[in-house]
Structure 1
């Protein structure tokens, strides 16, 4: 028989991840499933699961029933650390290739003294430049660390090998765990945990749909989607704090370079207010809302009109439009 338990990354965390398990599930299997669910498999050997006076790790034998874990039990993830002296020096793993190329972060012009190493994609970095870039990505809420030059995803283990200090490593691991956790919500109807894959807030539960009972809900307020119109960002619930949440994203999102001009990476369509994140390519974008499909410039936000291209289509933009303010309803 299956039942539900709640797993938290920290004791003070207000929301927990619901996991459906069987009483006969082994402690080893449960520990492995938790690490996969929370995206911390790279830290599995340093984690344990706390329940009452029990500590479940990958080395623990027995099944969940042996530890008196029942439906509704609350389990906390614990990260193991070593005691003694704290070594915060940079260490580059012997397997990492050195490089003579120019660091892609270029902290100092014509720097010939700093050690440079190759990332898995081949681009050269200095350990200090890499650490600074990783810190910026974590603070910006990124769930993956990618090369800014080629967009190849860098594994955490490969980043650590290239000279991160102990404190920088901990900030990276804990930051990614926290950022990834915020991309999950439970379907209010069936309880299945859903991962958010884009900037939209209109969520269609695939599990409910597979059971023949389609259920669409709002990512922000977790209530059933009431708006039957074309909006993808307004659920229609009066109590929803979505506008405040979206405005915060527009006000604080990371800047990026598009056609040599620095712009916010998140905009809203000038016509329908669909939230859009610029991933790659030039400034010309088309609103993904099928009921809108407006073509506009991501830099100056000027739109196409009556079948014509937007005004700056064939000439460079001189300046970027400021961060946007959501229109009042």
Structure 2
């Protein structure tokens, strides 16, 4: 009798603790593309509604360190867990950092400290994404991939997605509009209006208000960084030093920027490659503020 009772107690102790699945759980097939083991059973929230790790979640490696992805010093109330790269995060700081990368046009996620790339599966697991956040992540990833790899925009004539083959030609032909109208139809990649004037051109079309990139660079206001100190008189729009694509800065986080077209990482302040700026990307640039650009770099095509 005693042996039977002992066996039952051992079997009971081996059972996994009951977890609570939050409402509106995402259907399993939503994540089949990424083959993700959905972690919503680990979600807990603070009084402020912020996500926090369940300290009893044995899938995570908890560490007693600062939140190394909390670049804005929010001080999120959650145990710290270690990413594959070795840096400590909370689910909310990781979510914030990954959304920042998506807003910058990225499709992949890298650590903000060591630049090691994280897998999409790891990010989904460690960020404890809500169903709404997961849907937003997927939408932004595919939108960024379309822009970055295909140079895609919506035609103003038919709203169909159109890719641009020549990144230095603003005169873009829409085959859908041409078929519907029975004649050629072109629009300006810059001002997004029906093309006027001769083409091809790389500066502007003849539509009123279509500014050339050089005019935009010359007339844009200066930027006031929220997180970088000691930077004055820096233009708010820069041309990528490698491919010439015009880029703006969100004013938040560091002064480094990654071009959404060619993936060049450069300092928005001095326009040098990021690795050539020896100080922290949140401090004043040691090279100073580069003057407004008067030449648009041409995309370096791979041979």
Q: Would you call these one fold, judging by a TM-score over 0.5?
A: no
Report the structure number with the largest CA radius of gyration.
2
TM-score (normalised: structure 1)? 0.38
Name the one with the larger strand percent: 1
TM-score (normalised: structure 2)? 0.41
